[in-house]
Amino acid sequence: MENLEYAPFLNDLDTSQKEAVMSLEGPLMVLAGAGSGKTRVLTYRIALLMFYGVDPFNILALTFTNKASKEMRERIERLVGPEAKNLWMGTFHSVFAKILRAEAPKIGYQPNFTIFDSDDSKSMVKSIIKEMNLDDKLYKPSVIYNRISSAKNNLITAEEYLASSELSIQDEANGRPKTADIFLEYSKRCYKSNVMDFDDLLINTYKLLKEHPDVLNKYQHQFRYVLVDEYQDTNHCQYMIIKKLVAVSRNICVVGDDSQSIYSFRGANIQNILNFANDYPEYKVVKLEQNYRSTKTIVAASGDIINHNKQKLDKTIWTSNPEGDKINVIKALTDKEEGTLVSQQIYSLTNLQGLRNEEVAILYRTNAQSRAFEEALRKINIPYKIYGGLSFYQRKEIKDLIAYLRLTVNQKDEEALKRIINYPARGIGDTTIQKVAYIANQYKVTLWDVLEKAHHFDVFGSALSKLQNFYMMICNFRDTAKTKDAYDTVEYVAKQSGILKHLHEDKTPEGISRYDNIMEMLNGVKEFCEDDTNEVDKTLDAYLQDVALLTDADKEDESEHEKVKLMTIHASKGLEFPAVFVVGLEENLFPSFMTLQSRAELEEERRLFYVAVTRAEKHLFLSYATSRFRYGNLLYCEPSRFLTEIEPKYLNTTAMFKGKTLPSKDSVFGKNEVQEKTTSRFSINPAYRSQFDTPKPPASDPNFIADDLSNLKEGCRVVHQRFGKGIVESVSRDGINSKAVINFEEGGSKTLILKFAKMKILA
């Protein structure tokens, strides 16, 4: 392959990038620091392979997100033209699903298998726990599911798990000795339902390659060049699959950054990148150390952070970019004030410094933190968009429709059936469903089989005809799907199932938004059918496979223009923004208290902080609050230890609160105070119930304040929802919360810290 003509596009690259792109043969590890042009290297490398005449059919490129693969495909297309469509490029899950779809019978599945998302998996685990009469306080579905998932990611089957004394000792110690049995039952049931969960897509691929040498041989020879993006995030199973696939060609190129490994909770094993040298002794390593993204200050500060970690590969990130501004530290009293201060800064960035809203991102550790920023941004009319959170595909109405579709394709899909057998309500209640489940268990058949033969059982009474109607309806859908394309089928199902009608009748704002979501999904299906870059296959089967592996981040959206972006740090990986706010930098929140146990996990939290700050190009803000409402409680917070890991000379800690002194902890959080919970539902003192059951007076009524404490004065007679009637002795305010001493008739004097007035003011 040497001495070929020189591809002109290589001139866009710097020396080390060029080296990484041009080392086409043999194992190559590219250690790519943040902002060093990693995607560029991957795309140019693939483009160069094709430039040299390698058939795109022989190139396999694996990414972690659909977004990354889509972006890469588009960039390659710009370099080499439409042939890029034929590349084997996609997420691990989607590429393997495609292979499994083709080879399903070899490992005992039918090709129309459907894919469980983690909600389905947890729901199935939950019903198994229930059926085994286990205490669901001990056996929490999510805990069990995570344990099953991590076993699978380490290629441990249910049978091996059952046989392992080590694992059973662990489970015994945790008081969950039955975990192995749940795992076994779960596996059996998935198999019986002709369903694969996310992990199955990986382990079944491994199984297929391991047990069928002919298949392995076929793909080993097909994929002459294998490229893996974000290699630091691969788990053991993915690692083993890659190892098998490249065993013949040994043309493997992995690109990654150990400093950005933030997915160990999902099974990612950082050792995979740390041990690359052992697996491929003849390997070559290229380090991309020049950062093209951020200012010198940001690069230096991020270096300070990551150098606190012990486990890392040796590299030094540098930049020739300008020095840039200092990093601003924002200190706020509460989460609400944090929102206000951050949004004020955004206002000044966009209105005084000429940034556009879409160039600004707010990054947080947990999705729940977004609320304070949403409220503050809304208040000063800055448009924003939240990424992640409740994904479009996790919305109830979308999951309902997808459940119909899954059942249409695969009638054995138990979770789908249970979800929609009585939605919209068609008079098939819990007792009837339990009877069906009981029979299915007794005869060791699927729920669907029982529906088919329902007339043989004399136990359903008037529900029999309803079951039969449901059965007929799904059969009808199944037959429709055989002759029509995905769009026509989905539209037909949405109408005939009654979902559309049901939602259309609901005129509440939520109902309307649900209806709109269904319409949006229909639009999505239409696009899928019309999009010619997709597979030729436009059937419902193909659509479902696509949609099961799609996440919100992949959804096309023009509405993001001119909007500030809000997302978790995890979701921000791979992105960059001129201005970044990393918020909620408090001990126990970031680093998360879950991870404060072990050193290794703390290192991962630190890598997460590193990822967050390295998203920023020019402006970086770090913010924290000294008290915070979480789960309805006002909590005291210490600033995050990570803040002290940056050299003070890079920080500007004075600008944000000059002249302001914050009150001491004790003056805010005294000892005899009741911290009022601001839950939407709370227990009402029965004696005063009637006063709250009456319809709310109009907002103009001076005696009623819904969520504003401004009228609360000394001497007010109030009815509180938990403590009953009382008289306000004194009120003090700190601008965000009110502190009121109230003498209650039953319960004595109490000091309440109030966020909202969950009380009526009587006089």
Residues engaged in binding DNA (CB under 7 A)? 64-66, 91-93, 118, 126, 137, 140, 142, 198, 262-263, 265-266, 365-368, 371, 388, 390-391, 422, 425-432, 463, 549, 551, 553, 568, 570-571, 592, 594-595, 629-633, 677-681, 683-684, 689
Question: Are 736 and 708 a contacting pair, CB within 8 Å?
Answer: no
Q: Which residues have C-beta within 8 Å of that of residue 152, sequence separation ≥ 6? A: 199, 200, 202, 203, 237
Q: How far is CA 566 from CA 32, 239, 351, 391, 541, in A?
A: 26, 32, 19, 14, 34
b/e for 622-632, b at 16 or more Cβ within 10 A?
A: bbbbbbbbeee
DSSP bridge partners of 360: 579
Choice between 468 and 592, CB closer to DNA: 592
Please give the structure tokens belonging to residue 38: 């990693």
Choice between 28 and 401, CB closer to DNA: 401
Please give the structure tokens belonging to residue 24: 């086409």
Least separation in angstroms between residue 554's CB and DNA is 8
Please give the structure tokens belonging to residue 58: 């022989």
Establish whether 260 is a catalytic residue. yes
Q: Among 94, 104, 96, 42, which Cα is nearest to 219's?
A: 96
Least separation in angstroms between residue 124's CB and DNA is 13
Least separation in angstroms between residue 127's CB and DNA is 9
Establish whether 230 is a catalytic residue. yes
Least separation in angstroms between residue 306's CB and DNA is 17
CA separation for the pair 65, 263 (Å, rounded): 13
Q: How far is CA 114 from CA 49, 197, 431, 495, 531, in A?
A: 35, 9, 27, 22, 22
Q: How far is CA 91 from CA 66, 69, 323, in A?
A: 6, 7, 37
Establish whether 40 is a catalytic residue. no
Establish whether 365 is a catalytic residue. no
Choice between 118 and 652, CB closer to DNA: 118
Question: Are 583 and 362 a contacting pair, CB within 8 Å?
Answer: yes
Choice between 39 and 653, CB closer to DNA: 39
Least separation in angstroms between residue 506's CB and DNA is 11
- Amino acid at position 55, single letter: D
As a 3-state breakdown, the chain gives helix, strand, coil percent values, each rounded to 5, of 50, 15, 35
Q: How far is CA 627 from CA 19, 245, 286, 638, 680, in A?
A: 51, 52, 46, 8, 21
Choice between 185 and 199, CB closer to DNA: 199
Choice between 80 and 611, CB closer to DNA: 611
Radius of gyration of the chain (CA): 29
DSSP bridge partners of 636: 627
For tokens 């009808």, what's the residue? Answer: 476
Least separation in angstroms between residue 149's CB and DNA is 8
3-state secondary structure of 739: strand
> Exactly one of 18, 19, 39, 210 is catalytic; which is it?
39
| Omega cis (within 30) before 639 | no
Least separation in angstroms between residue 637's CB and DNA is 13
> Exactly one of 220, 260, 446, 595 is catalytic; which is it?
260
3-state secondary structure of 553: helix
Least separation in angstroms between residue 428's CB and DNA is 6
Question: Are 16 and 288 a contacting pair, CB within 8 Å?
Answer: yes
- Residue 517, phi-psi category: left (phi > 0), alpha (psi -120 to 50), beta (remainder): alpha
Establish whether 38 is a catalytic residue. yes
> Exactly one of 615, 641, 739, 750 is catalytic; which is it?
615
DSSP bridge partners of 738: 733, 754
CA separation for the pair 349, 263 (Å, rounded): 33
Question: Are 253 and 46 a contacting pair, CB within 8 Å?
Answer: no
- Amino acid at position 202, single letter: L
SS (H, E, C) 313-338: CCCCCECCCCCCCCEEEEEECCHHHH
> Exactly one of 117, 230, 338, 413 is catalytic; which is it?
230
CA separation for the pair 678, 675 (Å, rounded): 9
CA separation for the pair 85, 83 (Å, rounded): 5
How big is the CA angle at 45 (ends 42 and 47), to the nearest 5 degrees?
Answer: 110
Least separation in angstroms between residue 509's CB and DNA is 15
Helix axes 198-211, 92-103, angle to 10 degrees: 50
> Exactly one of 38, 75, 435, 563 is catalytic; which is it?
38
E strands within 215-273? 225-228, 252-256
- Return the H-helix or E-strand segment holding 128: helix 118-131
CA separation for the pair 508, 500 (Å, rounded): 15
Establish whether 675 is a catalytic residue. no
Least separation in angstroms between residue 606's CB and DNA is 12
**DSSP-derived secondary structure for 596-641:** SS-HHHHHHHHHHHHHHHTTEEEEEEEEEESEEEETTEEEE-PBPG
Least separation in angstroms between residue 343's CB and DNA is 19
Least separation in angstroms between residue 231's CB and DNA is 14
> Exactly one of 185, 199, 200, 229 is catalytic; which is it?
229
Question: Are 186 and 148 a contacting pair, CB within 8 Å?
Answer: yes
DSSP conformational letter for 586 = B
Least separation in angstroms between residue 432's CB and DNA is 4
Choice between 143 and 184, CB closer to DNA: 143
CA separation for the pair 44, 64 (Å, rounded): 19
CA separation for the pair 383, 360 (Å, rounded): 11
Residues labelled as active-site residues: 38-39, 229-230, 260, 615
